[in-house]
Amino acid sequence: MASASASKYNSHSLENESIKKVSQDGVSQDVSETVPRLPGELPITEKEVIYICPFNGPIKGRVYITNYRLYLRSLETPLFAFVNEEKFNVDGWTVYNPVEEYRRQGLPNHHWRISFINKCYELCETYPALLVVPYRTSDDDLRRIATFRSRNRLPVLSWIHPENKMVIMRCSQPLVGMSGKRNKDDEKYLDVIRETNKQTSKLMIYDARPSVNAVANKATGGGYESDDAYQNSELSFLDIHNIHVMRESLKKVKDIVYPNIEESHWLSSLESTHWLEHIKASIL
């Protein structure tokens, strides 16, 4: 058994004895041990070690080996998180007030209301507790709509223009599947959203994925908004790849700059990572 800190036992079961350490010349030495041992647990040896911590780098420690376990004790090192005692005059937990933030944006108004349906994160665990939704949509409607969206991420307001009142909504993919399932509540809901913006007759739907990915997601129950089901809307794919592709691209960027940079093939190496293409797709 390996342990990174001292185990806790009842005081009567602890034995703090010295270890008989045999050096290379055969001379026994008493080494002070602070590791608690169980009754009958016999020390065998101890060694100074250095291990690599993913956060702090190389850290010195001492490994104690007995007939029962292998025990690792790190040398005491002060950590910034505990040493730094900076005081703040505000409570960080109350800095963000969702109601005040919505009021700053002019919400609620005669088109949009604040719903508390997700106050305990029961409807959608990855959404905020307060949601801004069309005024004409009830909470019961929201529950039915959420069932047709991946992870219950139904369309909710993210931003509203301060002057023309155009909005940006966010949501996940509809659960269309290979059979092309439809949900009348979801279709009506998107039409209600469109009607809140009197300056346009079409609802623009931007799907961040490449179109080929959206089609492939049908095989796993997902999909996208079809023209037949969502009339008066226009679907556009933004061709942004998923997180796995982004991570692999970033890894390739790291590989061409560390530990060595090959100047003669720098531009071609950078192009092969496709990193700049991903950046362009994300910001346009």
* Sign, CA torsion 206/207/210/211: negative
- Residues contacting residue 254 through CB under 8 Å, at least 6 positions apart: none
Is-contact 70 63, C-beta < 8 A?
A: yes
User: Distance between CA atoms of 12 and 6, rounded to whole angstroms?
Assistant: 16
Question: What is d(CA 104, CA 108) in angstroms, rounded to the nearest whole number?
Answer: 10
- Report CA torsion sign: 165, 171, 176, 182: negative
SS3 139: helix
Cα gap 210→241, rounded to integer Å: 7
Distance CA 52, CA 136 (A): 58
Determine whether the annotation assigns residue 242 to a binding site: yes
Which pairing describes strands 28-31 and 43-53: parallel, antiparallel, or unpaired? unpaired
Backbone angles phi, psi at 11, to 5 degrees: -60, -30
- Cβ within 8 Å of residue 255, ≥6 positions away: none
The single residue listed with the structure tokens 């505000």 is 90
**What does the DSSP 8-state code read for residue 203?**
E
- Asked if residue 279 belongs to a known ligand binding site, the reply is no
Helix (H, G, I), strand (E, B) or coil at 57: strand
| Residues that constitute the known binding site for substrate | 242-243
